[in-house]
């Protein structure tokens, strides 16, 4: 990976409620302008790793007991989530957490206020999001809670992009969605990487789809990394299949 990565994790260990070891000796990098995938079965430690990076693990009585997380060259083990968002690191949680009683556009706007932008800047950001997700413009006045699962996932990603991030942590973006919608979302991820310089760290169970859009991947099993490499290497390795089936 890059000699000067956007994100660098070195041997982190995460413990919940001071007794439950969730991940151990996790080390990974995310280069600028890249899509990196965390692959593995449910419970392998993917979500915990993302929450450790974004600072959200503390909200679930978790702590980084060992190791170091560096973002933009700064150690951020104990940084508050809102501070990381201001620095361009934002997480989209698993499960499409929209404000269901707000409209699609109101949901998107909540993601833009972190930098206290002018009205003109906010409107320009909205136009960008509608450019990425034309479907959202058509339903911008609809209540988010009455939109489809795919549309809610677009809202959640769009809201994160309103904060003008450098790095987006995406947790299970394909969960519960039709294959066509999944492909559409990953095409948008590719476009944002290629044309807008946004990097992604994607935790995903659907390895077949993720690897088609991935620059580099890590395979997690029982809270540790069992394999890593390019999409081609991971596809040819038996470690990915073993991580899903168990040993």
Note the pLDDT tens digit of each residue in 125-148.
Answer: 999 999 999 999 999 999 999 999
Phi first, then psi: what are they for 11, rounded to 5°?
Answer: 55, 50
Long-range contacts of 174-183 (CB under 8 A, 24+ apart): 174/204, 174/205, 174/206, 174/209, 174/210, 175/94, 175/95, 175/205, 176/149, 177/149, 177/150, 177/153, 178/150, 179/209, 181/149, 181/150, 181/153, 182/206, 182/209, 183/209
Give the model's pLDDT for residue 235: 83
Q: Where are the domains of the chain?
A: 1-88+166-247, 91-164
- Look at residue 1 and tell me whether its pLDDT is greater than 60: no
Give the model's pLDDT for residue 18: 86
Average pLDDT estimate for 87-102: 92
Average pLDDT estimate for 139-166: 95
CA distances from 97 to 42, 153, 169 (A): 19, 8, 14
Note the pLDDT tens digit of each residue in 29-78.
Answer: 999 999 999 999 888 999 999 999 999 998 888 999 999 999 999 999 99
- Look at residue 186 and tell me whether its pLDDT is greater than 90: yes
Query: Of 89-98, 171-180, 192-201, which one has max mean pLDDT?
Result: 192-201
Average pLDDT estimate for 193-204: 95
Give the model's pLDDT for residue 220: 94
Alpha-carbon gap, residue 50 to 230, rounded angstroms: 20
Q: What average pLDDT does the chain have? A: 92
User: Which homologous superfamily is 1-88+166-247 in?
Assistant: P-loop containing nucleotide triphosphate hydrolases (3.40.50.300)
Give the model's pLDDT for residue 36: 97
- Identify the band that residue 2 occupies on the pLDDT scale cut at 50, 70 and 90: very low
Give the model's pLDDT for residue 132: 92
DSSP 77-145: TT--HHHHHHTTEEEE-TT----TTSBHHHHHHHTTGGG---HHHHHHHHHHHHHH-HHHHHTTTSBGG
Alpha-carbon gap, residue 176 to 96, rounded angstroms: 10
């Amino acid at each position: 990976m890059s000699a000067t990565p956007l994100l660098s994790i070195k041997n982190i260990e995460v413990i919940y409620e001071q007794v439950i070891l969730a991940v151990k000796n996790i080390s990974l990098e995310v280069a600028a302008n890249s899509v990196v995938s965390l692959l593995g079965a449910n419970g392998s430690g993917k979500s915990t790793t993302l929450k450790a990076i974004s600072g959200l693990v503390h909200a679930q009585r978790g702590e980084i007991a060992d190791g170091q997380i560096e973002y933009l060259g700064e150690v951020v083990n104990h940084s508050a989530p809102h501070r990381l968002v201001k620095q361009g690191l934002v997480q989209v949680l698993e499960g499409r957490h929209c404000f269901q009683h707000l409209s699609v556009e109101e949901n998107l706007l909540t993601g833009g206020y972190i930098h206290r932008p002018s009205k003109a800047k906010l409107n320009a950001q909205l136009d960008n999001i509608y450019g990425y997700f034309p479907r959202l413009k058509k339903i911008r006045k609809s209540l988010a809670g009455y939109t489809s699962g795919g549309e809610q996932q677009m809202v959640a990603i769009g809201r994160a992009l309103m904060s003008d991030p450098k790095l987006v942590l995406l947790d299970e973006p394909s969960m519960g969605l039709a294959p066509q919608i999944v492909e559409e979302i990953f095409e948008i991820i590719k476009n944002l990487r290629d044309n807008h310089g946004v990097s992604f760290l994607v935790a995903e169970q659907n390895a077949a789809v993720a690897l088609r859009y991935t620059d580099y991947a890590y395979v997690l099993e029982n809270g540790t990394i069992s394999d890593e490499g390019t999409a081609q290497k991971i596809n040819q390795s038996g470690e990915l299949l073993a991580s899903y089936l168990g040993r």
